[in-house]
A and B are shown apart, each in its own frame.
Chain A
Amino acid sequence: MSKISINIDGREIETQEGEYILNAARANDIFIPAICYLTRCSPTLACRLCLVEADGKQVYACNAKSKEGMSVVTSTENIIKERRAIMEVYDVNHPLECGVCDQSGECELQNYTLEMGVDAQHYAVKDVDRSDIDWGHIHYNPGLCIVCERCVTACKDMIGDNSLKTVPRGADALEAEYKENMPKDAYAMWNKLNKSLIGLTSGEEMLDCTSCGECAAVCPVGALVDTHFIYTSNAWELKQIPATCGHCSAGCQINYDVKHISIENNDEKIYRVMNEWNYVSLCGAGRYGFDYQNEVKSKDEAAFANALEAFKKADTIKFTSTITNEEALLLQKLKEKFGYKLLNSEAKAFQTFLNNYSEISGTKLYGYDLEATHNANFIISVGTAIKSDNPNARYALNNSITVNKGAGLYFHPVKDPVVEGFGKSIMSVYHAPLQEEAVLYLILDLFADKEKLPSEIVSYLASFHSTKTITVEEIIKEEITEIVKVMKKNEESGEEEEVEEEKKKMVPKKVSKEVEVDENRLLEILGADEKFMENLEKNLAKKDTFALIAGPDLYTHPNSKNLARLLALIEKYSAFELTMIPNLTNTLGVALICELDEVAGSYTVGYNTKGDFTLSALGDGDLDMPAINQQEGTLTSINKRVNPTNAAIGYNGYELNDIANALGLKAELVIEYTKMLPLESGFRAEEFDNLPNHYDNDGTEHRGYLLENIATAKSGDESVAVISDEKLEGTLIYMANPVRQFTPFTYKATNLDEVSGVYMSEEFLSKSDFNEGDSVRVKSASGEIVANIVSDNKISGNIVLLPTFDSKLNTEALFSSYRFATASIERA
């Protein structure tokens, strides 16, 4: 793609060749009305408002591509007429009771009706019954729906659930005279609109999806509303607090919308979470898991004194990665001053993994981010339950497949119907746990530049290949000669007589042929199906940008060092753009800031995790701490971005900084540490208050700053160990959360109603003699737990999922460190 210049309304602007006119105009602050278009998704062409004249021809700005020297006029007399008629049509039978609509004040129908100056109605059609429908966490009011299909588009092109579709409306046909008298596009748009409404793809009564709520966020009118928000507040009463979601490593931009609790209670409360949905898509945890704040009435001085006592006694601080960078730095400073051991097993694993990766790559961090994944057209995911580990990585994968016409490979032991639902061009390979090395070797084998790859690896890869002679049945066309009898006039006698004639004819024939084929034993190890190579070849056609997502399964793998080196080799010797998914919210930040230890000392202070003395933002510890939505600070995301987050609601208790100050560090506010974050890890000496948190109209992200990917010393040694034959077999358990749950913080949120327990697929349950709700004892080599069975239709296959979001369940006891384990499950 190259830079070109086009002219819109007399303004010369620069854009990319092939960019939609609408996006080019938006990037340059030129207004073209449009309702149905969603940035990053494919054009729907439902609203037709974006009508413009390009080089004298009327086109839709949302799907017309820019060409060098193009001249665009955004409004002509005819276009104005069309737009006005379109808005009138949208207002036909639309209720006028804006006062009882939750969208009022931020409604695009209100805005455009005023913008187009609709002050009288000329059209009418008989309405059908459009009573509102409860879909569970989303409420649909068809009476307000303008069928712009933005919800359908977002669900299909971004989220990948494909839960919504258009369904027949069953309305009367439009009166014939409109066809002649109305502006043409307005009529066409109305004709389509009058035939459809939005419905559920499943045909069921309730939505059964991954419940992200993105459909309600993108709805321009009040047709789709989050059930929890209905009639609780007008949009204009809410104050937006720009923040960063604190649930996973995606670090999505969010706004906490806050208002006083009630007439009597002036304390602030979060009413909902909004996002810049054109540029970032949230998952259900981000959107609905907002009320996890730790409500503390006042400073508990006795508990604080105890905490100081505990810190004086302690030699170890154990913590989780749901803390800000500043707090991580505080802990590091405490370590430097008092010699505490810092314990955080998942961040330690990720840190070690990154260090191993650096030895070959020569950089401190992986090279790319999810934005690269969004733009790629061939994506491989390995070692992650992508939809629950990092929903944004999943959106990137789906978005690439649907919008970039991309394809992908999903390597994971747990069968995932959601990923399979992205489309036919994503091929899932469900390998056995512990076989991740084989996956990475396969990627090297398939995609690496063998000429540059170290020769030992090339020859090792070659050892997996063998030629095999197989008999294939082929259908070939064969020429045969047939003798047919035809009647012919004898020229001499003039009589008709039967003559035999030879005729040539092609007939298909089955033949067996012996052919030599290449056999790749890696495919066999991974359990890929026979057609794998054939399908892969088809899927690889026309693909030019490649992305690789590597996930947390690899970090705690017994051979994680080898995996890290293999990833570095893939990045170095193939076209794959590598992104790694950090386990938790700020795992990357912690890994970059803290020097972590492995073994605990005799007395431990726990921060958000159990210790001899526990500081907890969950409200269950010995001293209360503020949760992420009550704190200022920065979080390091998967995109290697240091994102600022703000306190949405007040907190009256003590925070970590108070303890640090009492112990001799000096900072009035914890954000004074923002500029002290370690430069040698790629952070910048930037004041917290200078960090931006917004997107430009062209989608440019202005949020915090990007970490510098510092160069590290390379060892020069690029050798990797061979595949170990170890494999987990039997009844397998996997440490992963259901979608929308990440930590005890999401579990605390009132709108996230996932139940704690042992997650089994419907397939597994039907084969076993267990039922949903049964209490079972899960026993592994390292421990055992008793919990109830939860049936989950978002997974399939035989692997049982054990979530970590419920701290009471203590599923970690079942695993040594790797996320998979073998276990026995029996009725308790």
Chain B
Amino acid sequence: MHNEHIQEHFNNRNVTELDSNYYMVDIAPYPTDGWGKFQRVIKRAFRGELFVGLWVVLREMIKFDTHTVQYPAEKMPIGPRYRAVHEMKRLWESDTERCIGCGLCEKICISNCIRIDTKLDENSRKEVSEYSINLGRCIFCGYCAEVCPELAITHGGEYENASDQREHFVMYEDMLTPLDKMKAGTQLEFEGFGAITPHEDERVKKTPLAY
């Protein structure tokens, strides 16, 4: 089984055995009688901890060295496997769209938010005439990217898709890598589930060829 190591890791749930850096937190026993509770209230109220907190705030205010991310002016970097609004990739070789219109994404979509129209184009090829995803329904599960045989539909890092209504569609053109970005060579490959893994070549069974 290729996922043996994962199973091994997850099946052993006894964390203390795995790592000795774990230790029990020292917690004093809770008071049980009224007098004990009263004492605890007095202790907490007059220990001056309030001022410790106030001092921290004051100190940071004076230092002007804050760790707060200034969203939306500032944004956290997004991991390559993050699943946000979909993107449609182009082929590196020809800049044409990768999507062949097989409709597997439409079929596998569990929230039923993808729809695709195809037709026969003038070069006798299958052409995607229209493609839409209803982001209001999409649960960003990533199945579409996983099932795509051409690595055409992927997830991107664009998560700002709030809209003023429940139904919110993205169309094919919106998702497709813009040509200038393609020409500049800045299209990013998706590294999430469904992408090619580093050892794919070794696993492939080769078909004999009579040439």
- Residues from chain A with Cβ under 8 Å of B118 in the complex: 231-233
Complex alpha-carbon distance, A233 and B119, angstroms: 8
CB pair B117–A231 under 8 Å, yes or no, is no
CB pair A100–B205 under 8 Å, yes or no, is no
- Residues from chain B with Cβ under 8 Å of A121 in the complex: 205, 207-208
Is the interface on chain B under 10, 10 to 19, 20 to 34, or 35 or more residues? 20 to 34
B37 on the interface (CB 8 Å rule)?
A: no
Q: Smallest Cβ distance from A96 to chain B, in angstroms?
A: 9
A263 on the interface (CB 8 Å rule)?
A: yes
CB pair A124–B100 under 8 Å, yes or no, is no
- Known contacts A104-B102, A231-B127, A234-B103; is A120 also within 8 Å of B205 by CB? yes
The number of A-B residue pairs with CB atoms under 8 Å apart is 63
CB pair A124–B101 under 8 Å, yes or no, is no
Kindly report which residue of chain A lies nearest to residue B128, judged by CB atoms: A231
CB pair B208–A122 under 8 Å, yes or no, is yes
CB pair A99–B149 under 8 Å, yes or no, is yes
Q: Smallest Cβ distance from A102 to chain B, in angstroms?
A: 9
B40 on the interface (CB 8 Å rule)?
A: no
CB pair A124–B126 under 8 Å, yes or no, is no
CB pair B100–A100 under 8 Å, yes or no, is yes
- Residues from chain B with Cβ under 8 Å of A120 in the complex: 205, 207
Contact string against B for A residues 253-266, beta-carbon threshold 8 Å, 1 for contact and 0 otherwise: 00000001011100
- Residues from chain A with Cβ under 8 Å of B127 in the complex: 231
Kindly report which residue of chain A lies nearest to residue B104, judged by CB atoms: A99
CB pair A231–B126 under 8 Å, yes or no, is yes
- Residues from chain B with Cβ under 8 Å of A123 in the complex: 208
- Residues from chain B with Cβ under 8 Å of A119 in the complex: 205
Kindly report which residue of chain B lies nearest to residue A125, judged by CB atoms: B210
**Residue among A119, A122, A124, A132 with the highest chain B CB neighbour number at 10 A:** A124
CB pair A262–B120 under 8 Å, yes or no, is no
A27 on the interface (CB 8 Å rule)?
A: no
B32 on the interface (CB 8 Å rule)?
A: no
CB pair A234–B107 under 8 Å, yes or no, is yes
- Known contacts A132-B124, A231-B127, A263-B115; is A124 also within 8 Å of B149 by CB? no
A204 on the interface (CB 8 Å rule)?
A: no
Q: Smallest Cβ distance from B10 to chain A, in angstroms?
A: 29
Complex alpha-carbon distance, A100 and B125, angstroms: 8
B71 on the interface (CB 8 Å rule)?
A: no
Complex alpha-carbon distance, A104 and B205, angstroms: 23
A126 on the interface (CB 8 Å rule)?
A: yes
- Residues from chain A with Cβ under 8 Å of B104 in the complex: 99
A237 on the interface (CB 8 Å rule)?
A: yes
Complex alpha-carbon distance, A518 and B45, angstroms: 133
In chain A, positions 73-108 with a C-beta closer than 8 Å to chain B are 97-100, 104
- Residues from chain B with Cβ under 8 Å of A132 in the complex: 124
CB pair B107–A126 under 8 Å, yes or no, is no
In chain A, positions 239-278 with a C-beta closer than 8 Å to chain B are 260, 262-264
A230 on the interface (CB 8 Å rule)?
A: yes
B30 on the interface (CB 8 Å rule)?
A: no
Complex alpha-carbon distance, A790 and B178, angstroms: 53
Complex alpha-carbon distance, A98 and B104, angstroms: 11
Complex alpha-carbon distance, A119 and B106, angstroms: 26
Complex alpha-carbon distance, A262 and B117, angstroms: 6
CB pair A231–B208 under 8 Å, yes or no, is no
CB pair B132–A263 under 8 Å, yes or no, is yes
CB pair A100–B208 under 8 Å, yes or no, is no
- Residues from chain A with Cβ under 8 Å of B149 in the complex: 99
B130 on the interface (CB 8 Å rule)?
A: yes
Complex alpha-carbon distance, A236 and B150, angstroms: 20
Kindly report which residue of chain A lies nearest to residue B208, judged by CB atoms: A124
- Residues from chain B with Cβ under 8 Å of A237 in the complex: 103, 106-107
B209 on the interface (CB 8 Å rule)?
A: yes
CB pair A98–B211 under 8 Å, yes or no, is no
- Residues from chain B with Cβ under 8 Å of A234 in the complex: 102-103, 106-107
- Residues from chain A with Cβ under 8 Å of B209 in the complex: 124
Q: Smallest Cβ distance from B28 to chain A, in angstroms?
A: 64
Kindly report which residue of chain B lies nearest to residue A227, judged by CB atoms: B120
- Residues from chain B with Cβ under 8 Å of A125 in the complex: 210
CB pair A126–B211 under 8 Å, yes or no, is yes
Complex alpha-carbon distance, A236 and B106, angstroms: 10
In chain B, positions 70-128 with a C-beta closer than 8 Å to chain A are 100-104, 106-107, 115-120, 124-127
Complex alpha-carbon distance, A97 and B104, angstroms: 13
Q: Smallest Cβ distance from A467 to chain B, in angstroms?
A: 69
Complex alpha-carbon distance, A470 and B207, angstroms: 76
- Known contacts A97-B100, A99-B101, A99-B149; is A230 also within 8 Å of B210 by CB? no
- Residues from chain B with Cβ under 8 Å of A126 in the complex: 210-211
Q: Smallest Cβ distance from A493 to chain B, in angstroms?
A: 82
Complex alpha-carbon distance, A262 and B118, angstroms: 9
- Known contacts A132-B124, A230-B120, A262-B130; is A98 also within 8 Å of B208 by CB? no
- Residues from chain A with Cβ under 8 Å of B106 in the complex: 234, 237
CB pair B102–A124 under 8 Å, yes or no, is no
Complex alpha-carbon distance, A637 and B27, angstroms: 87
CB pair B107–A236 under 8 Å, yes or no, is yes
Complex alpha-carbon distance, A104 and B207, angstroms: 22
Q: Smallest Cβ distance from A226 to chain B, in angstroms?
A: 12
Complex alpha-carbon distance, A237 and B103, angstroms: 9
Complex alpha-carbon distance, A557 and B106, angstroms: 59
Kindly report which residue of chain A lies nearest to residue B132, judged by CB atoms: A263
Kindly report which residue of chain B lies nearest to residue A104, judged by CB atoms: B102
Complex alpha-carbon distance, A780 and B113, angstroms: 63
**Residue among A99, A121, A122, A125 with the highest chain B CB neighbour number at 10 A:** A99
Kindly report which residue of chain B lies nearest to residue A119, judged by CB atoms: B205
Q: Smallest Cβ distance from B137 to chain A, in angstroms?
A: 14
- Residues from chain A with Cβ under 8 Å of B210 in the complex: 124-126, 172, 175
**Residue among A104, A175, A232, A263 with the highest chain B CB neighbour number at 10 A:** A263
- Residues from chain B with Cβ under 8 Å of A230 in the complex: 120
- Residues from chain B with Cβ under 8 Å of A104 in the complex: 102
**Residue among A121, A175, A231 with the highest chain B CB neighbour number at 10 A:** A231
Binding site for B on A (CB under 8 A): 97-100, 104, 119-126, 132, 172, 175, 230-234, 236-237, 260, 262-264
Task: Give 26 pairs: A residue, B residue, CB < 8 Å, sorted on A.
Answer: A97-B100, A99-B101, A99-B102, A100-B100, A100-B101, A100-B125, A100-B126, A104-B102, A121-B208, A122-B208, A124-B208, A124-B209, A126-B211, A172-B210, A231-B119, A231-B126, A231-B127, A232-B118, A232-B119, A234-B106, A234-B107, A236-B103, A237-B103, A263-B117, A263-B131, A264-B130
Binding site for A on B (CB under 8 A): 100-104, 106-107, 115-120, 124-127, 130-132, 149-150, 205, 207-211
10 shortest interchain CB distances as A-B pairs: A99-B102, A124-B210, A124-B208, A121-B207, A234-B103, A231-B126, A126-B210, A100-B126, A231-B120, A120-B205
Taking A99-B101, A124-B207, A231-B127 as known contacts, 10 extra A-B pairs with beta carbons closer than 8 A to each other, sorted by chain A number, are: A99-B103, A99-B104, A100-B100, A100-B101, A104-B102, A120-B207, A231-B119, A236-B107, A260-B115, A262-B130
